[in-house]
Structure 1
Amino acid sequence: MRGATTVLLLAFAVLLQAAVVNRLPLPWGSAPDLVVLTVVAIALGATPVSGALAGFSAGLALDVLPPADHEIGRYALVLCLAGYVVGKLHDSPWRSRAWPYLVAFGAALGVALGFATLGLVLGTPHVGGGTFLFVVPINVGITMLVSPVVLAPVRRLRRYLANGDLSDITDTPWATGGIRL
């Protein structure tokens, strides 16, 4: 059930990001990155490999969706690395109520800087010094502004579906073939 929940959450975040959020006419030219926050919420409750897989799949989906104006693989690479690092922080001794938001800040900053750096290295025409000075801080700030709306519900939903009533559906006789007529 946890795997299906993860896939549905990632698909919803990617579609919402590509179809709605990226098309909003925001005055500062940057939109919050809901996919980074979703990957962080998933990777905080998973292993590093699961976090990397979640980041890679979400990043690849963002790379190939039609409004993308960058090289395929840029988001996949940076979100894969972010998911892996966040998954490694899963068992951190410094956990507190603010821990998910601190991790999300680091991941949002790392993804924005990594994406911009890859664009600079690959020669993307609209990436320059202004990207690092203005676009990255605005993107991270907006992403952190919406982080309570994304992180808490995603983490709560994954925890509920993993530990709630639906988690032992495989123990029922009708699901395991134990009922004979």
Structure 2
Amino acid sequence: MTGRWMAMSGLLVAVALLLQVSLFDAFAWQGVVPDLVLMVVVAAALSRGCQTGMVLGFAAGLLMDLAPPADHLAGRWALALMIAGYVAGRVRQDAGRASVVAVMATMAACSLVATTVFGLSGMVLRDPALGFGEVLRVIGIGLVWDVLLTPLVLPALLALYGRAEALRAR
């Protein structure tokens, strides 16, 4: 990763997190908001591959774990987004340039994986003590939110990362 690319990714993660905890908090559906940070991680992984997805996923997840209003043990989002970054990076590696349907399916799969890892790790660690039904409800709502926003957010992120790749290639 080049310095310019890392700075752009860091800025995108920071803006996504800021929007996620401030603006989108007003639109929360049963306490669940869309995961814009996950969308940045997925876009980066689809653009650059597994390693980039995992590194950015870990860093972005750690930022989510430590940023207010975090009320859980640190490391849960880092693990979840790192795994999601790996999954999205594998899609890039296996499929090459992904179609629109593949991008939507990848986002849905990564949303499901990340939210499930976060929820189940909370159940295992009893942080906070949630029932299985509550975790399933959060996973379902998060999946719906992320799939609904994917056509609006992910193409712009992929175009931005594609433009950065083109500038780097020059």
Q: What TM-score results when the alignment is normalised by the length of structure 2?
A: 0.89
In 2, Cα distance between the equivalents of 1:100 and 1:156? 13
Q: Aligned AA for 2:160?
A: L
Q: Number of residues paired by the alignment?
A: 166
Whose helix fraction is larger, Structure 1's or Structure 2's?
2
Q: Which runs of 5+ in 1 are unaligned?
A: 169-181
Q: Aligned AA for 1:52?
A: M
1:113 to 105, 111, 116: 116
Q: Which runs of 5+ in 2 are unaligned?
A: none
Shift of 1:93: 3.3
Shift of 1:62: 0.5
SS in structure 1 at match of 2:47:
coil
Structure with higher RCO (Cα < 8 A, 6+ apart): 1
Residue in 1 that maps onto 2:149: 146
Deviations 1:17-61 (A, max 9, x none): 22332x325343211111111110110011311110100010000
2:133 to 130, 133, 137: 130
Shift of 1:162: 2.3
Q: What TM-score results when the alignment is normalised by the length of structure 1?
A: 0.84
Contact 1:18–1:65, Cα closer than 8 Å, also in 2:
no
Using a 3 Å threshold, how does the CA distance of structure 1 residues 8 and 29 change in structure 2: closer, same or farther?
same
Shift of 1:71: 0.5
Larger radius of gyration: 1
Contact 1:108–1:140, Cα closer than 8 Å, also in 2:
yes
Q: Structure 1: which 4+ aligned runs deviate by more than 6 Å?
A: none
Identity %: 34
